[in-house]
Copies of this chain bind each other. A is one copy, B any other.
Amino acid sequence: MKLLRTTDVDFEKGFRRIVDDRREGAGDVAADVAAIISRVKAKGDVALSEYTQRFDDHQLTEDGDWRIDLADCAAAFEGLEPTLRDALVLAAERIRTYHESQRPTDRDEIDSAGVRLGARWRPVDAAGLYVPGGRAAYPSSLLMNAIPAKVAGVERLVVVTPTPKGQTNPLVLAAAHLAGVDEIWRVGGAQAVAALAYGTDRIRRVDVVTGPGNAWVAEAKRQLYGVVGIDMVAGPSEILVIADNKNDPDWIAADLLSQAEHDPDAQSILITDDEEFADQVADRIDVQCAMLSTRRTARASWDDHGVIVVVERLDQAIGLANRLAAEHVELAVNDTAPFLDGIRHAGSMFIGRMAPEAVGDYVAGPNHVLPTGRRARFSSGLSVIDFMKRTSFIEMNHNSLAVIGPAAAALAHAEGLPAHANSIEVRLK
């Protein structure tokens, strides 16, 4: 953990290093991923089968090796312990309700020149959702990706997920049932993303690929961006907690650890105006961390990437927060309004002392897929719009073309595009 004080002479240098540190993880996999993609594009299912044998120790032979039966998902859901099932249902309902309000509205109007102008939103035909296997197989992520797609109206929602040695995760299957997933394929890695983008004999291609994954999956999405739509280039998770000394240090420590336990590359940052309080939080982190089953990950993250910034006045946190553009920002202060107002760059904000970020990960309703690595400067969390696209339209008759056409023709001539001008002039002759 790094401790910075705004009163230190080298504060600016140290803080800038934190802002510039992108923590993109896992080195250079671009060449490997490019090779996998081109092999899947050329060989289709044969390549998928080879890679799945090699990377997941799972043989794709019979139909049942390739796909998970939707009936198995329904059974997994029914088999859940009731408290857990209720929690999953509550999460799905709240996520659905929040996202339903994101549906964009169409427009269709006739302006003063008599030109009909509009825009129309339609869902993509098919979306692919990557669900990691192993440690990061989170049913909550499945809900957060699948429900916006279904709210958008996507008719075909395809999950790909690696099943190492054939093993599946019942919680993920239950979530797939609850979210209304249409197909689940037992493939993962860059090869699964390539299959979704180009299609194979078995797996029809999709239009958009979303969902978290390791460095290979992230790089495959980046390389295939343009062939398909993607949600975003995601990096390790991060939280910024802005807290005064009126908080219980145990609460703030718990919040910082909740990010740290995700990933050794995750980052937890505390900004406070009281160094004694900061010390108390750091102590409580040590105590709590020791008791966590995730302590190795949490410890590594906090040791390597944790930061405490001590400011003279808490309002200095606003400017620093804008430079950090963090994925999650908690405002654990009395008067939250100036912070809510002043912080322009954040993926999601958690307001007040009773709003731990973890609630947003599961049941609050807004999406937990959020921009990381300072990308909240220019990008937004996953939403219904990511599964839709807009078509604009223009209708004219002779009169309206006569009003605005000549200006278009003049500009076309000026740009050296006579055929553009001609397509207007020939109609107005």
Residues in A lying within 8 Å of B, measured CB to CB:
83-84, 86-88, 90-91, 94, 97-98, 101, 107, 111, 115-117, 119, 122, 124-125, 135, 138-140, 171, 207-208, 222, 225-226, 228-229, 232-233, 248, 250-251, 254-255, 257-258, 260-262, 288, 292-294, 298, 336, 340, 343-367, 370-371, 373, 375-381, 383, 385, 389-398, 400-401, 404-412, 414-424, 426-427
Chain B residues whose CB sits within 8 angstroms of the CB of A366 once the complex forms = 117, 119, 392-394
A414 partner, pick from B171, B233, B292, B370, beta carbons under 8 A:
B171
Of A119, A288, A345, the most chain B CB neighbours within 10 A belong to A119
**Contact status A376-B389, CB under 8 Å:** yes
Inter-chain CA distance A91–B113, complex, in Å, is: 13
Chain B residues whose CB sits within 8 angstroms of the CB of A91 once the complex forms = 407-408, 411
Inter-chain CA distance A401–B364, complex, in Å, is: 10
**Contact status B396-A361, CB under 8 Å:** no
**Contact status A412-B364, CB under 8 Å:** no
Chain B residues whose CB sits within 8 angstroms of the CB of A294 once the complex forms = 416-419
Chain B residues whose CB sits within 8 angstroms of the CB of A352 once the complex forms = 395-397
Chain B residues whose CB sits within 8 angstroms of the CB of A111 once the complex forms = 97, 365
Chain B residues whose CB sits within 8 angstroms of the CB of A226 once the complex forms = 222, 232-233, 373, 375
**Contact status B422-A257, CB under 8 Å:** yes
**Contact status A258-B361, CB under 8 Å:** no
A419 → B minimal CB distance (Å): 4
**Contact status A423-B356, CB under 8 Å:** yes
**Contact status A419-B298, CB under 8 Å:** yes
Chain B residues whose CB sits within 8 angstroms of the CB of A380 once the complex forms = 389-391
Chain B residues whose CB sits within 8 angstroms of the CB of A354 once the complex forms = 396-398, 400-401, 427
Chain B residues whose CB sits within 8 angstroms of the CB of A260 once the complex forms = 419
A423 partner, pick from B107, B298, B357, beta carbons under 8 A:
B357
Chain B residues whose CB sits within 8 angstroms of the CB of A344 once the complex forms = 122, 125
- A117-B366, A351-B394, A379-B389 provided; 4 other pairs, C-beta below 8 A? A87-B406, A171-B414, A228-B378, A293-B416
**Contact status B348-A391, CB under 8 Å:** yes
Chain B residues whose CB sits within 8 angstroms of the CB of A347 once the complex forms = 391-392
**Contact status A258-B422, CB under 8 Å:** yes
**Contact status A348-B378, CB under 8 Å:** no
Chain B residues whose CB sits within 8 angstroms of the CB of A363 once the complex forms = 404, 407-408, 411
**Contact status A250-B414, CB under 8 Å:** no
Say yes or no: A107-B117 contact (C-beta < 8 A), given A349-B394, A357-B423, A375-B226.
Answer: no
Closest Cβ neighbor of A125 among chain B residues: B377
**Contact status B228-A225, CB under 8 Å:** no
**Contact status A254-B426, CB under 8 Å:** yes
**Contact status A394-B84, CB under 8 Å:** no
A68 → B minimal CB distance (Å): 19
Closest Cβ neighbor of A255 among chain B residues: B423
